[in-house]
Every structure is written in structure tokens, then in C-alpha cells.
Amino acid sequence: MDDPRRILLVRPSALGDVCRSVPVLTSLKARFPEARIDWVVQDTFAPAVAAHPDLTSVVPFPRSRFGRAWRSPQTMREFVAWTRTLRDAAYDLVFDCQGLGRSGFMTRATAAPRRVGFRDARELGWLGYTVRHDVPAGLHAVDRMLALLGAEGIPVVRNMRLYVPAAGRQWFERLQRRLGIDGPYAVLAPTARWSGKRWPAERWSEIVPPLLERGFGRVILIGAPSERAQVEACVPQGAPRRAVVNLVGRTSLEQTLALVARSELVIGNDSAPLHMAVGFDRRLIGLFGPTDPARVGPYGREPWVVRAPLTDADIGVSFKDAKAGDSIMRRIATADVLSRLDRVLAEVPLNRGTGSDTENAPGVHSTSRVIPVPGAIRDAP
């Protein structure tokens, strides 16, 4: 088979998964530097990858609108027209890195001669592929996607680097001037879509004073508009004026990327900001309970994850079980998080400047990385 001229990566969602799928893109570009590489991604998540230099074009998938297509003939016609654009693009090679029925349908809709996916794709997604590979289910999500490339003989490049769109950079510069941010700040992501993944709100408030004592001039809270109620108890009473900035529900994705990129620390539940932190090579602390960080945690940052202790009775507990998940997350003590924080700061001392400009930094996980994390660089097979 000749080298493909047009390649499509199918990974529409979720936001954290989109962020950690970037090594698939960089690997494909390294192997096929002259090829056009497009990416099907949910329209609301497109800014996470739109500025990446290896990407030719985003193919936005308006999931919210198309989810109502069965109720509207007009929307159904738009959906059919959208699927035709996938076929009309004449892709030579397509990788479905999501492995669900929806992504399998998109892959099939391209009619590409070579469509690659997981043999165990759920919801009959495997019906959309011409080539199905066996990939162990227990691998980390990043390694599992990259295994598809390896099975196709494509060398793996584990470059997690994300890029902030220009609009996000410009917004941050205005925010920096308005708030007078002139030193290191920490980003807290205390929210999560599923309550079974959330560390108790009151404990977030307990770590704010220690962060200020350790040299962070500001603590900035981030989250989606729908998550505002989750952070009401996260802001400590009596915190120094202007020390805590609550931006939950007030930032676009471009702006959130900019905040994470210039931060000196990100602390979060099992959610997208942790994967953004990896993409910008930031210090981080991940808080995990029912979900397994070995499979879905921040890639290459396992030593910086705090996982709640589990019992035999917890085996198989789903993060969708709100009561059980909350019980597990409550086993993470404030002291556990602060102990891990001190370990992280001992490994990578705090930058007392105004924040690292990752836009001009070398590629993440290269030999001259912004923050050297032991064990974070993985050699390609």
C-alpha cells in the first residue's frame, strides 16, 4: 500500500480523551509528514486541538444538535449531509480511537479503503472497520490508542504537547493585567461530571491556605457553567482578599487552556484539566477513587496521583454509583494531598516568576522538557 495522502483521526469525545489522544496525531504526522491529517472532534471540544501544528483541519461534530436529529427532518438532513462530507473527503486511512458505536459509524461513513479500530469496540462499533486489531483492555488509554498504530507498523511518538489558541493567549494577557497576576498560581479543578469522582468540596477549601503558604500567590478555581453549584463550599472563609479567584463557569475552553498552560500547579479530580496539565507539562496532583489511574490517569504522572485506599468490596464499583464513589473519595485525607504536594514541590521547585510560557517551550516529553518528571518519558517500543 502506498503512503496515505489523506488521514482521518476519529476521537470525538470526551474532553480529557481528546487531550490525551494527541500522541496519535503526532505519531501519524511523524510517519506521514506529507499527508493531510484531519480529526473528527465534538465541536465544543475542538479548541483543545485546533491550534496543533500537526493537524490540517478539525472536522467538528455538533453532537448536541445532531442528537435531536430524529425529531427534526431538517436536522436529519443536516446530519446526512455531514456524513457525506466524510465520504467526499476521500480519506485513504482512518483510525477510530474511541471504539464506540457512534465513532464506528463515522469511520464506516468515510468509505475509506483502510479503516482501523479495536476488535472489541463496543456497541458494534467494530462493524465500521476493515481492519480490527486485538489490543489488551488493561492498558492505559493512551497506550491502548497507540497500540492501534503499532499494529499498523507506525512508530509511536509519545508527544502529549497541547497548544493554546491565540484567543486564549490574548484573553490571559488581559486577565493577568486586570488581576495583577505577577507570580505563580495554582489551578484547582474541584468539579467532575460524575459525583462519584468528586473529592468533598469542603476539603478543597482546606488546601487553599497551605497553597498560599507554599508560595502560590493566587488559587484559581475552574469548571463548567453547569458545575457552579459544586464549588460553593470550596472557597475557604477568611481567605486573603483576591487570593482565591473563582472562574467556574466563566471561561471558554480556549481560556481554560491558557490558565492551565501558565499555571505552576493543577490539582483536580479524574477530569479533563489533569490531561491538559500533562499536555502543558505542568505540575499536577490527581485525586482518584473508583477510577483506575493506571488506565485513565494523567499519562506519565503516576507518582503524582493520590488514590483512595480500596477494599475488596470496592472492586468493580463504578464511578457512576454516586453513594459508593463519594464514600471512596472521602478516604483521601487533606493530609494525603498536602503530603503529595510537598513531594511534587521537592521534585520540581516552584518557579517564583510570572508563570512559564509554554508556547515557546520545547515539545512535551522531549529531551529538554519544561518540567523534568522522573519516569514520565516512555521509550517507544
| 5-36 confidence digits (pLDDT tens) | 999 999 999 999 999 999 999 999 999 999 99
Q: Which pLDDT tens digit goes with each residue over 269-295?
A: 999 999 999 999 999 999 999 999 999
Question: Residue 283: left (phi > 0), alpha (psi -120 to 50), or beta?
Answer: beta
The total of structural domains in the chain comes to 2
147 and 172 in a common domain: no
- Round the average pLDDT of the chain to a whole number and report it: 91
* Per-residue pLDDT at 376: 29
Confidence of residue 352 (pLDDT cuts 50, 70, 90): low
Q: Which residue has the cell 475542538?
A: 46
State yes or no: pLDDT of 372 exceeds 60.
no
- 318 φ, ψ (degrees, to nearest 5): -90, 145
Residues 143 and 214 in one domain: no
More confident position, 366 or 43: 43
Whether the link from the prior residue into 14 is cis, omega within 30° of 0, is yes
From 151, 179, 199, the end of a domain falls on 151
Residue 371 has pLDDT above 60, yes or no: no
Mean pLDDT score, 350-356:
62
Average pLDDT over residues 82-107: 98
For the segment 140-159, the average pLDDT, to the nearest whole number, is 98
Residue 52 located in a structural domain: yes
Domain assignment present for 349? yes
378 occurs within a structural domain: no
* Of 143, 154, 153, 96, nearest in space to 120 by CA: 96
Q: What is the mean pLDDT of residues 48-71?
A: 94
Shared domain check, 344 and 221: yes
Q: How confident is the model at residue 231 (pLDDT cuts 50, 70, 90)?
A: confident
pLDDT at 238: 75
Measure the CA dihedral 354/359/362/365, to 10°: 90
State whether 339 and 194 are in the same domain: yes
145 with 11, same domain: the answer is yes
* 172 and 142 belong to one structural domain: no
Q: Is residue 367 part of a domain?
A: no
Q: Are residues 232 and 320 in the same domain?
A: yes
Q: How many CA atoms lie within 13 A of 317 on its CB side?
A: 23
- Compute the average pLDDT of residues 238-260: 92
Tell which of 123, 151, 179 closes a domain: 151
Residue 165: how many CA atoms within 13 Å on its side-chain side? 14
Judgement on whether residues 134 and 188 belong to the same structural domain of the protein = no
- Nearest alpha carbon to residue 347 among 283, 273, 274: 283
| Cα–Cα distance, 222 to 192 (Å, whole number) | 11
247 and 349 part of one domain = yes
Kindly state whether residue 365 falls inside one of the protein's structural domains: no
Complete DSSP assignment for 118-177 = ETT-TTTGGGG-SEEE---TTS-HHHHHHHHHHHTTPPP---------HHHHHHHHHHHH
Domain-located, residue 275: yes
- pLDDT for 379 equals 27
Per cent of the chain over pLDDT 70 is 92
Cell of 294: 493506571
**Burial of 345 from C-beta contacts in 10 A (0-12 / 13-18 / 19+):** middle
Give pLDDT, residue 84: 97
| 157 assigned to some structural domain | no
**What is the band of 353 on the pLDDT scale with cuts at 50, 70, 90?**
low
pLDDT digits (tens, 9 = 90+) for 309-322: 999 999 889 999 99
- Give the range among 96-100, 230-234, 267-271, 355-359 with minimum mean pLDDT: 355-359
- Structure confidence at residue 363 (pLDDT): 32
Residues 146 and 19 in one domain: yes
User: Strand, helix or coil at 265?
Assistant: strand
* Domain containing residue 334: CATH number: 3.40.50.2000
pLDDT band at 370 (very low <50, low <70, confident <90, very high): very low
Range from 116-130, 211-225, 352-366 carrying the lowest mean pLDDT: 352-366
**pTM of the full structure:** 0.92
Asked which of 152-166, 216-230, 362-376 is least confident by mean pLDDT, the reply is 362-376
In this structure, the number of other CB atoms found within 10 A of the CB of residue 66 comes to 18
Beta bridge partner(s), residue 188: 221, 267
User: 106-124 pLDDT, tens per residue?
Assistant: 999 999 999 999 999 999 9
Residue 120 lies inside a defined structural domain of this protein: yes
For the stretch 78-90, pLDDT in tens is: 999 999 999 999 9
Whether residues 63 and 138 share a domain: the answer is: yes
Is 249 found in the same domain as 146?
no
Domain boundary residue, one of 151, 177, 210: 151
Structural domain that includes position 24 = 6-151
